[in-house]
Chain A
């Protein structure tokens, strides 16, 4: 079953700009995770935020979690061409991950 829903479905920005993607979910969670998928490849884990955390940083990535609104956002600052990929959020509730359909991010040179 699909729980996370990413917004927008697609995003195209200029290199150097910031990219923001949002994820909403429906039920209570232990954590929320963000993954990146380059075209035709597997998924790579980016960052995990626990349900008792509100914000987390990793390099150019910033993730926020609002459990009252059941939503999360992923911010990529100073985007680069190599950031072009699909980004997925996944929520963990009972040792399984439930996935959204993803946001396709295109960084224009």
Chain B
């Protein structure tokens, strides 16, 4: 089974801090994604990556950056955390072939105080 592991289930940080969310997948998937999920808004794509060292902006990249130095690891960085970044963050991975599902981690519930 595909396993996508997010480093923290719950995280509390302060406004202005630099925050790192880590995601690791064990199935050699080419694609990795970071979403945020807010009530009533569904999932919104922040950034995605098709390969090592490659990154593409999603729908809401402002205030975030990402890093993919190794194929299995995709990190989301909040450069200077703000209260409006309090949310559930979900990492996913998938194969590049067409018609492939995405596999999700359990999410990180991040609170910015």
User: Is A48 a contact partner of B101 (Cβ separation < 8 A)?
Assistant: yes
Chain B residues with Cβ below 8 Å from A96 are: 45, 48, 58
User: Which B residues form the contact surface with A (CB < 8 A)?
Assistant: 4, 31, 40-45, 48, 58-59, 90, 92, 98-99, 101-107, 109
Please name 26 pairs of A and B residues whose Cβ atoms are closer than 8 Å in the assembled complex, sorted by A. Answer: A1-B59, A30-B98, A31-B99, A33-B101, A35-B104, A41-B106, A41-B107, A42-B4, A42-B105, A42-B107, A43-B43, A43-B90, A43-B102, A43-B104, A44-B104, A45-B101, A48-B101, A50-B99, A88-B42, A90-B43, A92-B99, A96-B48, A96-B58, A97-B102, A99-B44, A101-B40
In the bound complex, CA of A96 to CA of B102 (Å): 10
Interface residues on A, range: 20 to 34
A2, A43, A45, A95: which contacts B41 (Cβ < 8 A)?
Answer: A2
B59 to chain A, nearest CB (A): 6
Q: Which of A31-68 contact B (CB under 8 A)?
A: 31, 33, 35, 40-45, 48, 50
Chain A residues with Cβ below 8 Å from B101 are: 33, 45, 48
In the bound complex, CA of A41 to CA of B37 (Å): 11
Q: Mark A83-109, 1 if CB is under 8 A from B, else 0.
A: 000001010100111011110000000
Closest 9 CB pairs of A and B: A42-B104, A45-B101, A99-B42, A99-B43, A101-B42, A43-B104, A42-B106, A42-B107, A31-B99
